[in-house]
Amino acid sequence: MTRRRGASRLAAAGLMIVSALSAILGAAAIGARAEAETVTSIPISTFMSAGIGERVQGLVWRGGIEMKSQTDTFGGLSGLGFTGPDNKLVMVSDRGNFVTGQLLYDENARPVGLIGVRIEPIQNSKGDELPRAYTRDAEALTVIFRDGRPSAVRVGFENLTRVADFALVDGRPQGPAREVSIPRWLSDTRTNETLEAVCIAPEASPIAGSTLLLTEGVIDDDGLHSAYLLGRNDKGPLGYVSGSGTNPTDCAFMANGDLLVLERGIALLAFQMRLVRIPAAEVKAGAHMKGELLLHAAGGDIDNMEALAVHTAPDGSTRITIVSDNNFNDWERNLLLEFSLPE
């Protein structure tokens, strides 16, 4: 398949940032193998013809990077969360790995590199590596906060559909999985179109602390994408209305409780993506959620966009970060794109 390399890049060698990585993880990751990874980051300066700081539909473009590595363990990035004010992040791979690192910004708060990258296998509840490809397909990740600090991550898997928590140590997930109870209809649905999005409502949300589970291809009786809220007081099924030709692939809550949903699809042999916002009051059990479109993109400016997170950049602005899954294919790319809402 031929693809247009549409987004212009600052490709001069001096602007390439190569991660200098520390030694392989030692005894702290008991029973797990960790790999240090060298990632070359090429800054992306324009998106859909807009320069950094310019409006793109309902968002403002803030810059991005294309991430490359010589080894085959980096890629398949399907979920994203930020684990600290220093822009540490964790991603999950659909080959059953945690990918951690630190997003680097320049003096103008533009993302320019990913440094300190480590890759380590996700463990099962016994502390062992996941045994088969069928069990490794991690597709979603959200950060759990306790007392205002990130303390764990919650990960969603498809194929062997399940949800599990992992403790955070210095911004990296550690130790065995702690299984989270989910509805029987979801755990019994074992395909690669089940659980694509997991996110936890913030304090300002009417459903604060509840976990939203959103499926890609499990369609309910109303023709909507099946979803479910896990919570003590806010619990039950709900549905999501996607765009034509796209399916939900990740979600993230804004600090005010509004929900962002990322959708992706293929049209005319090119990837497309949609990002929509749903008001906080409309995220509740029994709801048919349909969002306001913030961004619709297709073609060479994007790739297979799968992961979504919201965090605070060094300049204090709220950033919407979207990452692509290259499926470990040479013709797909690992992109990290950042946007903000207009002031």
Q: How many other CB atoms are there within 10 angstroms of residue 300's CB atom?
A: 14
Cα distance between residue 320 and residue 126, in whole Å:
35
Cα distance between residue 59 and residue 342, in whole Å:
6
Q: Got the DSSP string for 274-315? A: EEEEE-GGG-STT-EE-PEEEEEEEGGG--SEEEEEEEE-TT
Conformational region of residue 327, where left means phi above 0, alpha means psi within -120 to 50, and beta covers everything else = left
pTM of structure: 0.90
Cα distance between residue 217 and residue 283, in whole Å:
20
pLDDT recorded at residue 6 = 37
Cα distance between residue 283 and residue 211, in whole Å:
11
Cα distance between residue 95 and residue 76, in whole Å:
7
Which sign does the torsion angle of CA 328, 332, 334, 339 carry?
A: negative
Q: How far is CA 320 from CA 6, 150, 185, 206, 281, in A?
A: 21, 18, 32, 22, 21
Domains of the chain: 74-102+122-340 (2.115.10)
- The residues pairing with 204 across neighbouring beta strands, listed in sequence order, are none
Alpha helix segments (H runs only) across the chain: 133-136, 184-187
Residue-level pLDDT, tens digit, the chain, 343 residues: 333 333 333 333 333 433 333 333 333 333 345 678 889 999 999 999 999 999 999 999 999 999 999 888 899 999 999 998 899 999 999 999 999 999 999 999 999 999 999 999 999 999 999 999 999 999 999 999 998 899 999 999 999 999 999 999 999 999 999 999 999 999 999 999 999 999 999 999 999 999 999 999 999 999 999 999 999 889 999 999 999 999 999 999 999 999 999 999 998 889 999 999 999 999 999 999 999 999 999 999 999 999 999 999 999 999 999 999 999 998 999 999 999 999 8
Residue type, 268: L
Which sign does the torsion angle of CA 153, 291, 313, 37 carry?
A: positive
